[in-house]
Amino acid sequence: MTYTVIQWATGPVGRSALLHVIDNPDYELVGVFAYSAAKVGLDAGSLVGRPATGVKVTNDRKAILGLEADVVVYAPRMHPDIRHMDDDVLALLRSGKNVVTPAGYWYPPLYGPEYTQAIQAACREGNTTLFGAGENPGFFLPRLAVTLMSTQSEVRSIGLAEMCDLTHSSRELIFDVVGFGKTAEKLEGNSIIAQLVDRCFHEEMGLVANILGTQIDRYERTSRFATLDHDIQLDAGLVKAGTVVAQAHRWSGWRNEAEILSVTNTWFVHRDVPGWDLDDDRWTITIDGRPSMTVDVKPTISLAESPPLTYADTEAGVMETMTAMVVLNAIPRVCAAEAGILYPDTANVPKVRWITDDTNNQLSSSPTWSSVVSQTS
């Protein structure tokens, strides 16, 4: 069958998704929403180097809500507070449109039963489904790592480590989003990326724990920042001496005083940093179990190339394209699902024996989390 699709937002991930919707005969583009007034009225094809589609870009939410469509690919800029997106997402669900998104909603139960019930009510009203997807979070831990559980007889912990060289990324990403070029003291309490991703990986680890038959009763984040004593000149601008050139954030989920899940993201704009082992771009899954194993996923194209390699028609790089495709490839399953919140398929996930389980230790009724920050120069 052909799925009618609305593309919501046209940043790098959104444009990558839009290109695939236009090119794939299984999809029919029926609407495009953009936040930029400069894009309003343009044909959707012009945003991704394709011939005219007859679909004009709009920034009118009511117009989008009034369209008939099977699914909305909801790809706005992510926000530290998931509730910032709720008005749009719940309105789309109530209007009869399924929603797939890389911006959140991996595990709404983390925010409590009332929050989850509000989403379920919107889904029932519109007979629709909501699915949070993406690459990290969204794929490597809850799908790839969970699949590896079929090889295990018992598990003590599961970890995911992402390493990304952002040397040749955009000025906005390097300086405004991730915060390179600021002092470690300024980033310690005000790191936008850490605050933003806190909620993402809390959700994802809660989801994975639920899939694997356990529970998290405490979340923690530890952060490290590295500085140098000399300036670094990047394509995007100058990183001054004494400001951050590398940072690592580790999110961990604990059960019964044992760390069972973790995600570590290391980003940098200079590789020669004393005390830091900075390597090529990769995602590494580490399982401490029987048998223990490490699985590396490496893009064949380095993110550190100069100029950065992007697909010219979308200006999307490797990670943006991966993110978009995990979302788009979920559309058939989302459209076929019953109304409600959808999670990754667990049909073939085995019952996992956790070495750390202690049935005599009662879990708290709700998770807690804390943040610990240390600086490494």
Closest to 163 measured CA to CA, from 21, 296, 322, 23: 296
Alpha-carbon span 253 to 212, nearest angstrom? 13
Q: What are the phi and psi torsion angles at 312 (to 5°)?
A: -60, -35
Asked whether residue 322 is assigned to any structural domain, the reply reads no
Q: Inform me whether the pLDDT recorded for 301 exceeds 80.
A: no
Assess whether 100 and 162 both reside in one domain.
no
- Range in 87-91, 178-182, 196-200 with the lowest mean pLDDT: 196-200
Assess whether 252 and 276 both reside in one domain.
yes
Last residue of a domain, one of 105, 132, 159: 132
Asked whether residue 265 is assigned to any structural domain, the reply reads yes
Last residue of a domain, one of 88, 108, 132: 132
Assess whether 274 and 231 both reside in one domain.
yes
Q: Is the full-model pTM beyond 0.95?
A: no
Q: Using one digit for the tens of pLDDT, what is the confidence trace for 18-49?
A: 999 999 999 999 999 999 999 999 999 999 99
Assess whether 249 and 107 both reside in one domain.
no
What is the span of the domain harbouring residue 185?
A: 140-305+347-375
Rounded to 5°, the CA angle 357-363-366 comes to 135
Asked whether residue 199 is assigned to any structural domain, the reply reads yes
Asked whether residue 311 is assigned to any structural domain, the reply reads no
Last residue of a domain, one of 116, 132, 148: 132
Sequence-ordered alpha helix ranges (H) in the chain:
12-23, 61-65, 86-94, 113-126, 146-148, 171, 184-190, 192-211, 318-328, 331-336
Residue 373 is predicted with a pLDDT of 41
User: pLDDT band at residue 249, thresholds of 50, 70 and 90?
Assistant: very high
Question: Is 83 within 8 Å of 112 (Cβ atoms)?
Answer: no
Q: The tokens of 56 are what?
A: 């004009």
Average pLDDT over the chain reads: 88
Closest to 303 measured CA to CA, from 280, 337, 270, 334: 280
Residue 314 is predicted with a pLDDT of 59
Assess whether 230 and 202 both reside in one domain.
yes
Assess whether 74 and 11 both reside in one domain.
yes
Assess whether 151 and 100 both reside in one domain.
no
Asked whether residue 342 is assigned to any structural domain, the reply reads no
Alpha-carbon span 292 to 141, nearest angstrom? 16
Assess whether 116 and 177 both reside in one domain.
no
Asked whether residue 323 is assigned to any structural domain, the reply reads no
Residue 252 is predicted with a pLDDT of 96
User: pLDDT band at residue 106, thresholds of 50, 70 and 90?
Assistant: very high
Closest to 17 measured CA to CA, from 44, 41, 51: 44
Three-state DSSP class for 247?
A: strand
User: pLDDT band at residue 253, thresholds of 50, 70 and 90?
Assistant: very high
Assess whether 222 and 362 both reside in one domain.
yes
Alpha-carbon span 219 to 208, nearest angstrom? 14
Assess whether 146 and 183 both reside in one domain.
yes
Q: Using one digit for the tens of pLDDT, what is the confidence trace for 331-366?
A: 999 999 999 999 998 888 888 899 875 543 333 334
As for how many domains the chain has, the answer is 2
Asked whether residue 328 is assigned to any structural domain, the reply reads no
Assess whether 144 and 124 both reside in one domain.
no
Q: Inform me whether the pLDDT recorded for 153 exceeds 80.
A: yes
Asked whether residue 79 is assigned to any structural domain, the reply reads yes
Assess whether 117 and 164 both reside in one domain.
no
Domain CATH for 51:
3.40.50.720
